[in-house]
Amino acid sequence: KNEVEQSPQNLTAQEGEFITINCSYSVGISALHWLQQHPGGGIVSLFMLSSGKKKHGRLIATINIQEKHSSLHITASHPRDSAVYICAVIFYNTDKLIFGTGTRLQVFP
């Protein structure tokens, strides 16, 4: 069964903390996306990756194909990072994006 699991579901942090959000999936994938959704609904694509590691500013995404696991790290977190972070994958055996349930992050000053 094609499943995507994210952890934790909710995360609170103090400004400046290092944050890690995890995404695990059940079978082989073609690509994995990390998305950010702010209150009000707008979604921004943060990363798309199929191997290795990508970095953009304070955000780092890694993926381990063998372990079927990806992590999104936020260094020096800031209140403006407060959002829902969603992992989405395309499994080899389907052409459709399957989404995780999201991780709600709140960063307090």
Partner 1 sequence: KAGVTQTPRYLIKTRGQQVTLSCSPISGHRSVSWYQQTPGQGLQFLFEYFSETQRNKGNFPGRFSGRQFSNSRSEMNVSTLELGDSALYLCASSSASGTGGLAGLNEQFFGPGTRLTVL
**44 lies in the site for partner 1, by CB under 8 A:** yes
Compute the least distance from the CB of residue 15 to partner 1, in Å. 27
User: Amino acid identity of 33?
Assistant: H
Interface with partner 1, residue 33, by CB under 8 A:
yes
CA distance 17 to 20: 10
Q: Which residues pair with 69 in a beta bridge?
A: 24, 64
Does residue 97 belong to the site contacting partner 1 (CB under 8 A)? Answer: yes
Nearer to partner 1 by C-beta: 6 or 77? 6
Among 27, 96, 106, 108, binds partner 1 (CB under 8 A): 96
The correct pick among 45, 51, 64, 75 for binding partner 1 (CB under 8 A) is 45
Assign 28 to helix, strand or coil. coil
Nearest to 77 by CA among 107, 49, 50: 107
Query: Which among 109, 92, 88, 102 has a CA at the least distance from the CA of 17?
Result: 109
Give the residues lining the site for partner 1 (CB under 8 A): 30-31, 33, 35, 40-45, 48, 86, 88, 90, 95-102
